[in-house]
Amino acid sequence: MQEARLVDLDGLLGPHAVDGDLVDLFVERASLLAALGRMEDAKLAFIDVLRVLPTHFGALNEFGTFLTRIGAIAAACRVYAEAIGHHPDNPIAHVNLANLLLRASKYDEARSHYEAALECDPDNANAHQGLGAVLSDLGERAAARHHFAKGFRHHAISTLPYRGVKAPVALMQLVSSGGGNIPMASILDDSVFQISVVVADYLDPTSPLPVHDVILNTIGDADLCMPALRAARRLVKRTAVQVINDPRAIMTTGRVVNARRLRGIPALVTAETHSMRRAALAGPDGPAMIAKRGISFPLLLRSPGYHTGRHFVLVAEANGLAGAIARLPGDELLVIRYLDARGNDGNARKYRVMLIDGELFPLHLAISRDWKVHYFTSQTSENADHRREEAQFLEDMRGVLGHKAISALERVGQILGLDYAGVDFGINHNGDVLLFEANATMIVARPDLDDRFAYRHKAVDRIIEAVVRMIERKADIGRALMRG
């Protein structure tokens, strides 16, 4: 159908140059070229339109969407900003730019554009959803719930555009309104999957479900998303297809529960974790309460439901406890035993291994002088020795980690019982795994288009291919079940 439409447009537009009367058709043609995978032709087609009509909103917005799809995020942001400059009262470009800023954790900038969109259109559901996500990540969860309600009520199901030419895999993706979802944008190709996104905690239980061959539950944070997981658990009972990451399995992966149930695995050290009331911790008896639980300073404090190092601090001594608590949101805080992952060189190391369909896949190694090791804030990009060490891990995970560490990680995967999960960990001087976290909320991000990181592409591609194979296999089973 798309190819036939492109042929029609080529015939119609062939004799004409770009002009205002035909511009919408030229933009449609450029978008079709992208949908058919002709990316270079699509890029040139968009440029041809914008060279003649540089302020046309549809052309700018669709070009921004195209650039986002091919991973040119900085360029997409510039194009959306250009659209806003010429059309400040159109909420669409504000929302699209804000979505990219939110993805980059640029919360203040994202917030300003979501708010600008709502000034243009106070009922804009996408702007309310995005602003809710920003506020949730900033710890303003009561305000976030207000915007989530406005954004998702009556908008619990959305079907994304399908850009493929073959019959699609119909995928129903379950998400939570309040965050804590597994980022899957780098994995779910819209030329392969017809994706219907269902916000589980806002779905009317009497609403019909979208057409689907398989369910992918991307609600991943058991500490944050329990209401959504309960709703997802009820939803999956309504269908006979395969469910990837069953909500019941996710519900048992909270940090406190994991620290307890994974504790007995040979060659694995868990960080003892307790959930405690902020008010009690901040009082004069706070240090004594912690000591009664067998945790000593230095220790870690964390607000549950946050990731990528947000609202997560190290407290070196008891006299720093009250000040640390004051900087963290939430009525409940996690008190976590500090596991020292520093090597002989003084650097802390954090490995990430993905668990996909029962197999281990290395994803990355972050090395940093800081105790809080996060891949995108580590010194890997500036340090060639770190990149060489990471490359060795990606090429020979089993050789680098050793047999007993691999066995421990395999056992973690068996206990989690998830189809898609990740494990963040260090290795101590005895070769034991120091477990930082093990759950589903692990992003598989494609490396930057930077020659320094060329060695990472093969490992990431292997993971993405494994996830796609798993989804397609389970979709085949689902189609067979639905046929009876």
pLDDT tens by residue, the chain, 484 residues? 778 888 888 888 887 778 778 899 999 999 999 988 899 999 999 999 999 999 999 999 999 999 998 889 999 999 999 999 999 999 999 999 999 999 888 999 999 999 999 999 999 999 999 999 999 888 888 899 999 999 998 899 999 988 787 899 999 999 999 889 998 988 999 889 999 999 999 999 999 999 999 999 999 999 999 999 999 999 999 999 999 999 999 999 999 999 999 999 999 999 999 999 999 999 999 999 999 999 999 999 999 988 877 889 999 999 999 999 999 999 999 999 999 999 999 999 999 999 999 999 999 999 998 888 777 666 677 789 999 999 999 999 999 999 999 999 999 999 999 999 999 999 999 999 999 999 999 999 888 778 899 999 999 999 999 999 999 999 999 888 777 6
Tell me the three state secondary structure of residue 395. helix
- Which of 284, 314, 337 is where one domain is finished? 337
476 in a domain, yes or no?
no
214 in a domain, yes or no?
yes
Phi (first) and psi of residue 276, to 5 degrees: -135, 150
Phi (first) and psi of residue 407, to 5 degrees: -60, -40
* Residue span of the structural domain in which 383 resides: 348-470
410 in a domain, yes or no?
yes
- Which of 118, 134, 152 is where one domain is finished? 152
342 in a domain, yes or no?
no
7, 144: one domain? yes
76, 127: one domain? yes
47 in a domain, yes or no?
yes
Report the alpha-carbon distance of residue 243 to residue 173 in Å, rounded. 10
282, 216: one domain? no
Report the alpha-carbon distance of residue 304 to residue 248 in Å, rounded. 19
- pTM score, whole prediction: 0.87
Report the alpha-carbon distance of residue 210 to residue 436 in Å, rounded. 37
Q: Per the structure, how many domains does the chain have? A: 4
Only one residue has tokens 């998400």, namely 175
9, 100: one domain? yes
- Which of 311, 337, 363 is where one domain is finished? 337
207 in a domain, yes or no?
yes
145, 281: one domain? no
360 in a domain, yes or no?
yes
